[in-house]
Structure 1
Amino acid sequence: MFGKRFFGLRGPKLNYAISIIAGIDFLLFGYDQGVMGGLLTLKSFTKVFPEMDTSESLPAHVRSRNAEVQGVAISMYNIGCFCGALACLYLGDKLGRRKTLFTGAMIMVIGAILQTTAYSLGHFITGRLVTGFGNGLNTATVPVWQSECSKSHDRGRLLMIEGALVTGGIMISYWIDFGFSFLEPSEISWRFPIAFQIVFALVIVIFILPLPESPRWLLLKGRETEALEVLTALDDVPADDPQVMGELAEIKTALEETAAATFKDLFTMDENRNFHRVVLGYMIQVFQQISGINLITYYAATIYEQYIHLEPLLARILAACNGTEYFLASWISVFIIEKVGRRKLLLWSTAGMSASMAILAIMTSIGGGATGIVAAIFLFVFNTFFAVGWLGMAWLYPAEVTPLRIRARANSLSTSANWIFNFMVVMITPVAFANIQYRTYIIFAVINAAIIPCLYWFYPETAYRSLEEMDNIFKKSKSIWDTVRIAAQEPLRHGKHGELLVIPDAERRASDLTKTESKAEHREYIDGSSETI
């Protein structure tokens, strides 16, 4: 099997294989996000790293200092991810998609080994940085690799599925943390869960290189014969198939378009409104992170135990159940994203997240058993709203709103925002809980409430819109206040099932000429109006 080209797979089977490896990488991403949450309160962990012990038995000033250390140590992973994502701007095109993923997975293996074998805080932080760097390479590459090997009509759905798989990794990490907590006081209770991520990474290492390279990257490097071989394998057609030759020509045209762009083009405000569109993509990644989701993802068990005051066993069970419910809820968006649209999902989910944080603040400020139960429930509710509206949207929307010419650079910039603001939230969370306690939830309730008008006034609907349609909408916008209104008024070119609703001007003119209509009728078409059918 390993001796055959692409494992002997072609057509749908080869596409499935690519999706499986991409999915495993996102499982690894999610596992790494969630694994530390259930380990921070283990006695065997705080015995090795007393600098990160934030238990209430400690004096207030010691707990506050340790909270700062814990926030920095855990968030160093996100700094590593940030650096890895930026490094991918250079390594991605130099190594190719597969070799970058292979390198990232190997680095994550090394980082996991460093964390697993750590007996000092510096050793542990080094492992977090190394693991994050590898994950940054992978998360910046996997969506590109998969999208460049998949069909355009599958990309949105695949990206939402990848988001769901991130929560699948979080769920797995929570349950492994819970299961191994019964081995306390043995250090295996925290060392094995950290080491388990190596399993996912090794699967990527073993299977990634025999799979196809991105045909786009191959053409970028002038390897047209290999690119054609990949395209024919993905479509399971002969090399001279007209559809494949047309696809090859389209990729060449797109490469010529993107190759002409420079970094300065991100900040231009001509008729294409590039800077306007870059800001929309950048800020939606910022909004996703400052919503407070990683307050729960990284610290769920700690919140249940130390701040809602549940028993340690119950706290870990609830954290694991929270991760499971988060995973299940994330699949809702896969089925409704196209039916409901981007704006409605974002607006309703953000309102729900703001209300959930407000209720969490009220319940934890009152204290007591009954209010603790309500607070525990609303951690689930917050995750549900986030999973449905924001989990995959922040990765999907920037690609839909930015033009082809600057899309790669704009998406790299917006991804860097995701990681740096992820770092900020993860770093400040334990410090905030140690010093202002329930008021931490108020901060995030207000932030989410402030995001709602930003979404309403500035973010146009992109569902069922082609890239060319979005270009047209922004060209018609004279200011940042116009875009939402114009998007709502502009007729859709295609329906919910891909059917043609509006004939584009160029197609109408061609149709007009073939039908040899009168000169007067032909001029009526040229005036720029559209005909709805």
Structure 2
Amino acid sequence: MGKFYGLRGTRLNVAIAIVAGCDFALFGYDQGVLGGLLTLNSFLKYFPQINTAPDPMPADFNASHAANLQGITVGGYTLGCFFGAAATIWLGNMLGRKRTIFVGSCIMIVGAAIQCSSYSLGQLIASRLLTGFGNGMNTSTVPTWQSETSKPHRRGQMVMIEGLLIVFGVMISYWIDLGFSFLEPSTIAWRFPIAFQIVLALFIVCTIPGLPESPRWLVYKGKYEKALEVLSALNDLPETDPRVQDEFKAMCDTVAEEASGSFRDCFKTNKNRNLHRTILGYVNQMFQQISGINIITYYAATVFKDSIGLSPFLSRLLAALNGTEYFFASFIAIFTIERFGRRSLMLFGATGQAISMSILAGATSVPNNSHLGILATIFLFVFNTFFAIGWLGMTWLYPAEITPLSIRAPASAIATTANWIFNFMVVMVTPPAFANIKYKTYIVYAVINAFMVPCTYFFFPETAGRSLEEMDEIFHEVSGFRGAWDVVRVARTRPRRYGRRGELLISYDDTEAARRRSSVVSREATKSARKGTDAGSDVGEKVETVSD
């Protein structure tokens, strides 16, 4: 079949996107699958502790305690994801992108097998933690792998496909939950939906070994020949082609300048502004979660049943329809992400989300009102639409684009820990919030989304169409505390190296980074000459050798 399954160029990029997207479909599936099962009697029979509305209701029933246990059970998955992402801070650069994803998928298979065979609440929670650990490793690595193997003018679309497939996974989980609910009272009604995630994980385990490793990670590890081979395949050009060589030199120079990076460097206030860029990635992931999306993703059927007052079957049906509409809305971002850029979509999404949450608060403030119930149902769909366009895939793309190579793996993992810890917070507090402050829960999220708008406008620079090396140069031009504001202006005004179709506009040899490299190589050569040798810098020699 040949190297990389015989694929090159666009086909190879698409293959990478499919496998990466399958991982995110698995992530979405596991997010959505348990929410629909919370309304099944066969499920609650084995785990009665998390039933927030038992029928009949015992005299000593404590709704708040049941809500807390439900939050822990559902949120245990996201807490496991947090620890998996945190582990990747140290494992990411050691294992490489592919091996980290492979190990994470294997852990998910084991966790899902235990989860679907659970007979006690403790077993269910523990297995969700294990499954989440594997998924945390994957979700902190896949966006980096995707970004480092994509071209600047296609990178946004490729990662947005991942976002779309998250929702595809959510949608499939809702429909499988609904379909298998007809098998009640058999436990297959909930055991099969949980077990189905193993199929997706097995696909990843079987296909990822034959795909290319990140060329930037290969350069980072000194594997120059392999990196050049991967770049050639990704571009579908010979290794000697000027464009491949230009990209290769840019990568090598970035590594030569930043190869000493470590986890501690994520918090340095140096020329690369590592701390600044780590914070941007972290806050970007945090904003996605505190927007309130997982009120719907995890608890859609429960919200329709308890908050709006619909029947269990109609609640599951509307949850499936909600997930389907969410999936189709996510297509919009794929075709707008490169045209309008990251900032515009984030601003659009946050504004719409704030308005939607405000209307939801008003519509659910009056109980047992059928007209307001319909309005609330509609705006649960509307909220998903704005989120799908502005924030769904953005936070898997932006942190990987904004961070420099030397800290890209640990910084992306740190950013992903924000996603999971705030995901856990939202999932954990939602049942108690609805039990205690009811409709005011939506007001809290309306204020949070409104706050996200000015933060995005003033602090998040545009990354669309920029190579990962260009972003380094943009941050090099700002300094001090004021640089947090200035970077948005610099990103808007700095000339671009690549056009909208990926054409090279400015050769790397004509950039400031290349001139710095020449200066460094000259100084090293002078030092070597003074020692009686003709050698240049080690990195310079390696780059020139591979280039020749």
Q: 1:123 Cα deviation (Å)?
A: 0.5
Name the residue aligned to 1:474. 478
State which of 44, 47, 53 in structure 2 corresponds to 1:46: 44
Name the residue aligned to 1:516. none
Name the residue aligned to 2:83. 83
| In structure 1, distance between residues paired with 2:137 and 2:154 | 24
Tell me which moved more, 146-155 or 465-474.
Answer: 465-474
Q: After the TM superposition, which residues 378-527 of structure 1 pair with which residues of structure 2 at under 5 Å, given as runs?
A: 378-465=379-466, 466-468=470-472, 470-471=474-475, 474-475=478-479, 478-485=482-489, 487=491, 496-497=500-501, 506=510
Name the residue aligned to 1:36. 34
| In structure 1, distance between residues paired with 2:389 and 2:455 | 19
Name the residue aligned to 1:317. 317
CA contact (8 A) 1:476 1:486 kept: no
| In structure 2, distance between residues paired with 1:347 and 1:215 | 33
Q: 1:230 Cα deviation (Å)?
A: 3.5
Q: 1:99 Cα deviation (Å)?
A: 2.5
| In structure 2, distance between residues paired with 1:388 and 1:87 | 30
CA contact (8 A) 2:115 2:194 kept: yes
Per-residue CA deviation, residues 447-501 of structure 1 (Å, 9 max, x unaligned), is 1122222223333334445415532553497354444455556666766456788
Q: 1:215 Cα deviation (Å)?
A: 3.3
| In structure 1, distance between residues paired with 2:106 and 2:214 | 20
Q: 1:248 Cα deviation (Å)?
A: 3.8
Q: Give the direction of change, closer, same or farther, for the CA distance of 1:227–1:275 in structure 2 (3 Å limit).
A: closer
CA contact (8 A) 2:37 2:177 kept: yes
CA contact (8 A) 1:349 1:388 kept: yes
Name the residue aligned to 1:55. 53
Name the residue aligned to 1:306. 306
TM-score under structure 1 normalisation? 0.87
Q: 1:378 Cα deviation (Å)?
A: 0.6
Which letter maps to 2:449?
Answer: N
| In structure 1, distance between residues paired with 2:110 and 2:96 | 21
Per-residue CA deviation, residues 229-250 of structure 1 (Å, 9 max, x unaligned), is 4444444445555544444443
CA contact (8 A) 1:346 1:390 kept: yes
CA contact (8 A) 2:89 2:409 kept: no
Q: Does 1:341 pair with 2:345? A: no
Q: Give the direction of change, closer, same or farther, for the CA distance of 1:476–1:325 in structure 2 (3 Å limit).
A: same
Per-residue CA deviation, residues 329-358 of structure 1 (Å, 9 max, x unaligned), is 111111112322333322222121111111
Which letter maps to 1:470?
Answer: I
Q: Does 1:373 pair with 2:377? A: no
CA contact (8 A) 1:56 1:306 kept: no
Q: Give the direction of change, closer, same or farther, for the CA distance of 1:88–1:224 in structure 2 (3 Å limit).
A: same
| In structure 2, distance between residues paired with 1:144 and 1:343 | 20
CA contact (8 A) 2:143 2:397 kept: no
| In structure 2, distance between residues paired with 1:42 and 1:232 | 53
Name the residue aligned to 2:192. 192
CA contact (8 A) 1:87 1:137 kept: yes
Name the residue aligned to 1:252. 252
| In structure 1, distance between residues paired with 2:216 and 2:505 | 31
Q: Does 1:278 pair with 2:282? A: no
Q: 1:408 Cα deviation (Å)?
A: 3.4
CA contact (8 A) 1:403 1:471 kept: no
Q: Give the direction of change, closer, same or farther, for the CA distance of 1:495–1:246 in structure 2 (3 Å limit).
A: closer
Q: Does 1:140 pair with 2:144? A: no
State which of 13, 36, 47 in structure 2 corresponds to 1:15: 13
Root mean square deviation, CA, Å: 2.8
| In structure 2, distance between residues paired with 1:348 and 1:111 | 38
| In structure 2, distance between residues paired with 1:118 and 1:215 | 42
Which letter maps to 1:275?
Answer: L
Q: 1:411 Cα deviation (Å)?
A: 2.2
Name the residue aligned to 1:181. 181
Per-residue CA deviation, residues 128-171 of structure 1 (Å, 9 max, x unaligned), is 01110111111122222233333333222211111111111111
Q: Give the direction of change, closer, same or farther, for the CA distance of 1:143–1:484 in structure 2 (3 Å limit).
A: closer
Aligned length, in residue pairs: 507
Q: Give the direction of change, closer, same or farther, for the CA distance of 1:171–1:410 in structure 2 (3 Å limit).
A: same
Per-residue CA deviation, residues 82-111 of structure 1 (Å, 9 max, x unaligned), is 111122233333333332222211111111
| In structure 1, distance between residues paired with 2:501 and 2:238 | 29
TM-score under structure 2 normalisation? 0.85
CA contact (8 A) 1:345 1:388 kept: yes
Q: Give the direction of change, closer, same or farther, for the CA distance of 1:473–1:181 in structure 2 (3 Å limit).
A: farther
Tell me which moved more, 364-373 or 294-303.
Answer: 364-373
Q: 1:78 Cα deviation (Å)?
A: 0.9
Q: Tell me, what secondary structure is at the counterpart of 1:41?
A: coil
| In structure 2, distance between residues paired with 1:452 and 1:239 | 45
Q: Give the direction of change, closer, same or farther, for the CA distance of 1:271–1:154 in structure 2 (3 Å limit).
A: same
| In structure 2, distance between residues paired with 1:285 and 1:169 | 20
| In structure 2, distance between residues paired with 1:409 and 1:61 | 46
State which of 7, 24, 27 in structure 1 corresponds to 2:25: 27
Name the residue aligned to 2:363. 363
Which letter maps to 1:305?
Answer: K
Which letter maps to 1:99?
Answer: R
CA contact (8 A) 2:101 2:137 kept: yes
| In structure 1, distance between residues paired with 2:97 and 2:484 | 36
Q: Tell me, what secondary structure is at the counterpart of 2:140?
A: helix
| In structure 1, distance between residues paired with 2:137 and 2:307 | 35
Q: Give the direction of change, closer, same or farther, for the CA distance of 1:25–1:96 in structure 2 (3 Å limit).
A: same
Q: Give the direction of change, closer, same or farther, for the CA distance of 1:205–1:305 in structure 2 (3 Å limit).
A: same
| In structure 1, distance between residues paired with 2:463 and 2:96 | 30
Q: Does 1:261 pair with 2:248? A: no
Structure 2: state its 5+ residue gaps: 515-548
Which letter maps to 2:182?
Answer: F
Q: 1:420 Cα deviation (Å)?
A: 0.8
Tell me which moved more, 328-337 or 395-404.
Answer: 395-404
| In structure 1, distance between residues paired with 2:375 and 2:430 | 21
| In structure 2, distance between residues paired with 1:274 and 1:226 | 28
Q: Give the direction of change, closer, same or farther, for the CA distance of 1:463–1:144 in structure 2 (3 Å limit).
A: closer
Q: Tell me, what secondary structure is at the counterpart of 1:209?
A: helix
Tell me which moved more, 5-14 or 45-54.
Answer: 5-14
Q: After the TM superposition, which residues 64-79 of structure 1 pair with which residues of structure 2 at under 5 Å, given as runs?
A: 64-79=64-79
Q: Tell me, what secondary structure is at the counterpart of 1:363?
A: helix
Q: 1:74 Cα deviation (Å)?
A: 1.1
Report % sequence identity. Answer: 58
Q: Tell me, what secondary structure is at the counterpart of 1:474?
A: coil
Structure with more contact order per residue of length (Cα contacts < 8 Å, sep ≥ 6): 2
Name the residue aligned to 2:296. 296
Per-residue CA deviation, residues 28-68 of structure 1 (Å, 9 max, x unaligned), is 11111111111111111111000110116436952211110
